[in-house]
Structure 1
Amino acid sequence: MDNSKRNVVVTGFGPFGEHTINPSWVAVQELKKLGLGSNVDLHVYEVPVEYQTVQSLVPSLWKQYHPQLVVHVGVSGMATTVTLEKCGRNHGYKGLDNSSFCPDSQCCIVGGPDCINSVIDMESVCKRVTASGLGVAVSVSKDAGRYLCDYTYYTSLYLSHGRSAFIHVPPLGKPYSGEDLGRALQAIIREMLKLLEQAEEKINSQQHIH
């Protein structure tokens, strides 16, 4: 196995409500076509809109791939930009999923912190991608919406000590095509990986000093 290759896992969500084809999964499939460069092994998964599946699937992805980064992508009917979520929240899950289930505790991890921030500086990613002239508007948000998007993000952040990201995309054609969204995901995730690598270099150089 080529050790210089990094595993990156990107998930989109399956159908729910009026989204018979979930734009997040369309965007992730477009990203898969584009790839993240020759030194990244990109693994993509479609996640059903079900709390219990997320509870088992997210840990299994971390175990199987030991990824450098996991990025979850979801659709937001209210979004008009590609939105980078800064944090996941533990409490307030009252919405029923596709199997009409909702956690009794209404939280992700009983006893977990209220809010977990990503280690990735989303403001910085947003600035860099915007400056690159991609033609897709990118913004940053602190509220992933307390449904399966937020639930998945919190679960991933908890397991990865913050080495996860969540990106909300608008519905297709409002205003972006699947291809546009795929290009945006590619640019955003590349910036995220650069930031992570810089942070790792910093940590490594500090360890060498002592």
Structure 2
Amino acid sequence: MGEGQERCDVLVTGFGPFPRVPVNPTTVLAECLCRSRRLARLGIRVEHHVFPTRYDILDEALPARLAAARPRAVLMLGVAARTRHLRVETRAVNKANRTAPDASGKTRRGAALERGAPLARRSPAPLARLKVGMAGTGVPVRLSLDAGRYLCNASYFTALGRTGQTRPPIQLVFVHVPMPGSWALAPTARPRRRDRRAAAGAGRERRPPLAAMVRALETAAIVLARERRRRRAP
């Protein structure tokens, strides 16, 4: 990015397809957040990038995109196909999965993602505030200590390492999303509080529709952008 170009407030990243997930919802979600009228009305400038689900992005494409966008906050998205709620990942660990192939059929070599790096890196974002804000949209949200051992954890660990030295810190977090219960983007009515309580007590959670996840992730972007502005204020 040239010096005369404005920095983006929030960079949203997603992934493309990979084995057993031919259509990745984070591709659509990242595009929706970039086009969000709600965020635009609040003056939050959003850029997005969808990475191929390949390990080679860790060395080149991901660091290059972070450097080019110079974002004030980063919202990374990945899919957890078996879950039914959004997971705010609190940390990434320095461990690689040497058996699960990426979209190109390659696996990661070595047990560690980065030699000499710490065992874990934590998100600097206001995690509790993110959870409360996102859950307030009616979507089930949980904090998570385990981002897995696939590209989601690996990209999160890499991004935290690349942005960890900035002051004030770049507000970076990774959110795992489920496969949507509905792919429709038409807005639906926000669930009433009593309906949310009833759903929570009904046992198994339903997969949230794509439109509801967009609302929750818009809220996450707002929280990240405001936190960065708050830390920058004198």
Fold match by TM threshold 0.5: yes
- Deviation, structure 1 residue 154: 0.4
More helix by share: 1
- Deviation, structure 1 residue 62: 1.6
Q: Which residue of 2 aligns with 1:175?
A: 207
1:9 and 2:15 aligned: no
Q: Which residue of 2 aligns with 1:208?
A: none
Q: Which residue of 1 aligns with 2:190?
A: none
Q: Provide the TM-score with structure 1 as the length reference.
A: 0.86
- Deviation, structure 1 residue 126: 0.7
Could you tell me which of 63, 68, 75 is aligned with 1:71? 75
* Residue identity opposite 2:90 in structure 1: K
1:54 and 1:43 map into 2 onto residues whose CA distance is 19
1:28 and 1:182 map into 2 onto residues whose CA distance is 9
- Deviation, structure 1 residue 66: 1.0
**Post-superposition CA distance 1:185-210 (Å, at most 9, x none):** 10111112222222333xxx3xxxxx
Other structure's SS at 1:40 match: coil
1:47-196 correspondence runs (5 A): 47-94=51-98, 95-130=100-135, 133-161=136-164, 163=170, 164-173=172-181, 175-196=207-228
- Deviation, structure 1 residue 27: 1.7
- Contact 1:84-1:138 at 8 Å conserved across structures: yes
Other structure's SS at 1:67 match: coil
Q: What is the identity percentage for the equivalent residue pairs of Structure 1 and Structure 2?
A: 25
1:31-46 correspondence runs (5 A): 31-35=33-37, 36-38=39-41, 39-46=43-50
In structure 1, runs of 5+ residues without a counterpart are 206-210
2:24 and 2:139 map into 1 onto residues whose CA distance is 19
Question: How many residue pairs end up in the alignment?
Answer: 199
Other structure's SS at 1:116 match: strand
| Larger deviation, residues 37-46 vs 65-74 | 37-46
- Deviation, structure 1 residue 2: 7.6
1:193 and 1:27 map into 2 onto residues whose CA distance is 18
- Contact 1:73-1:167 at 8 Å conserved across structures: yes
Q: Provide the TM-score with structure 2 as the length reference.
A: 0.78
**Post-superposition CA distance 1:8-48 (Å, at most 9, x none):** 21111101122211011122222223152353321111111
Go from structure 1 to structure 2 and tell me whether the alpha carbon gap of 1:176 and 1:128 turns closer, same or farther (over 3 Å shift): closer
2:177 and 2:161 map into 1 onto residues whose CA distance is 23
Go from structure 1 to structure 2 and tell me whether the alpha carbon gap of 1:2 and 1:15 turns closer, same or farther (over 3 Å shift): closer
Other structure's SS at 2:67 match: helix
Q: Which residue of 1 aligns with 2:23?
A: 21
Go from structure 1 to structure 2 and tell me whether the alpha carbon gap of 1:197 and 1:176 turns closer, same or farther (over 3 Å shift): same
* Residue identity opposite 1:101 in structure 2: K
1:40 and 1:121 map into 2 onto residues whose CA distance is 18
* Residue identity opposite 1:178 in structure 2: L
In structure 2, runs of 5+ residues without a counterpart are 182-205
